[in-house]
Amino acid sequence: MAKSRYEYVKQFELDDSALPGTWMVVRIDGRGFHGFTDMHKFEKPNDLRAIHLMNRAALEVVRNIRDIIIAYGQSDEYSFVLPASSTLYSRRISKITSTIVSLFASNYTMHWAEYFPDTKLLVPPCFDARLVCYPTQKTLRDYLSWRQADCHINNLYNTSFWAIVHSGKTEQEAEERLRGTFSKDKNEILFSDFNINYNTLEAVYRKGSVIIRQETEVKSVSQKSGEEVVRLRRLPAVLHDDIISNEFWKEHPELLVSSQ
Ligand code: DGT
Ligand code: MG
Ligand code: MG
Ligand code: MG
Ligand code: MG
């Protein structure tokens, strides 16, 4: 078919493909969730309904985009990792980033009422997204460790802060009490003042959420024989493991093989 005389404008679309042979990480983050969480009366410091909704939206993204090998989420953010060998959308950064963030936001909205049956969604939730390339296994693992360490630091602070506030102090008093404290001090405050052993709190809060594809038994009924058949399928599952230590990566060596 003949090209129209307008076709030349295509030249203005610049190549934005990600560096070949690098891990691609798309991180989405709720826009203005400080206000969004207040408006919808999220529980403090952690709202389990909100965590489950974030995980659901991320699961749908991972189900939909087969190249994603691992995802990590905490607070209002989720990171999706594509292996160095991925050729998804010819590695075009804007195409990959916009598809992932759009799928995430629409699923967050679509499934809202399942997780918040008694809370009307008052504004359309919005997420930003960026794609960053990591050149080595080390930088990829350090990236994921950075996000999980961030989860730990914020959760320890928030758990201590709200324990102090719920004991009758003002938010300003809680802030002053925690100013300049180290992790060990916050652990000590939680233990001696509130009888909370931080390390025994549920991993979902301390570690955030990890999604990987795991061998799962799927049962179905054979159309031919009418008998039940069990098949092993790799399906995305949500875990709350420590991804900073070597153990996790030893247990799942396939994750760091980038030629899959
Ligand atoms: P941004 O990302 O620059 O558009 O601005 P924000 O306000 O989204 O800031 P961000 O992403 O640094 O912080 C996330 C906010 O979401 C923070 O105010 C805490 C809030 N948040 C996240 N998860 C929960 C939760 O489970 N419960 C409550 N109450 N708040 C939460
Ligand atoms: Mg921010
Ligand atoms: Mg945010
Ligand atoms: Mg955030
Ligand atoms: Mg189209």
> Can you tell me which atom of ligand 1 is nearest the CA of 38?
29
Determine the Cα–Cα distance for residues 59 and 210; give it in Å rounded to an integer: 10
Report how far ligand 5's centroid is from the alpha carbon of 124 (Å).
24
User: Do the Cβ atoms of 70 and 212 come closer than 8 Å?
Assistant: yes
Strand order in the sheet with 77-82: 127-134, 23-30, 77-82, 70-74, 209-221, 228-239
181 CA distance to ligand 2 middle (Å): 23
At 260 the pLDDT is 43
Could you tell me the distance, in angstroms and rounded to a whole number, from the CA of residue 204 to the centre of ligand 1?
17
Residue whose CB lies within 8 A of the most ligand 1 atoms, among 51, 76, 78, 166, for a mutation test? 76
Ordered structural domains, the chain, with CATH: 17-148 (3.30.70.3000)
Residue with the smallest CA separation from ligand 1 atom 5 is 32
DSSP letter for 176, please: H
Contact present, 108 and 57 (Cβ < 8 Å): yes
Compute the half-sphere exposure of residue 251: CA atoms within 13 Å on the CB side of its CA.
Answer: 11
Which ligand is closest in space to the CA of residue 98?
5
Q: Does the CB atom of residue 46 touch ligand 1 within 6 A? A: yes
Query: Which of the ligands is closest to the CA of residue 115?
Result: 1
How many Å apart are CA 230 and CA 221, to the nearest integer? 9
ipTM above 0.85, yes or no: yes
Question: What's the 88 CA to ligand 5 centre distance in angstroms?
Answer: 16
Nearest CA to ligand 1 atom 18: 34
pLDDT in tens, the chain (260 residues): 688 999 999 999 999 999 999 999 999 999 999 999 999 999 999 999 999 999 999 999 999 999 999 999 999 999 999 999 999 999 999 999 999 999 999 999 999 999 999 999 999 999 999 999 999 999 999 999 999 999 999 999 999 999 999 999 999 999 999 999 999 999 999 999 999 999 999 999 999 999 999 999 999 998 889 999 999 999 999 999 999 999 999 999 999 986 54
> What is the predicted pLDDT for the residue at 2?
80
Q: How many CA atoms lie within 13 A of 23 on its CB side?
A: 24
pLDDT of the residue at 258? 65
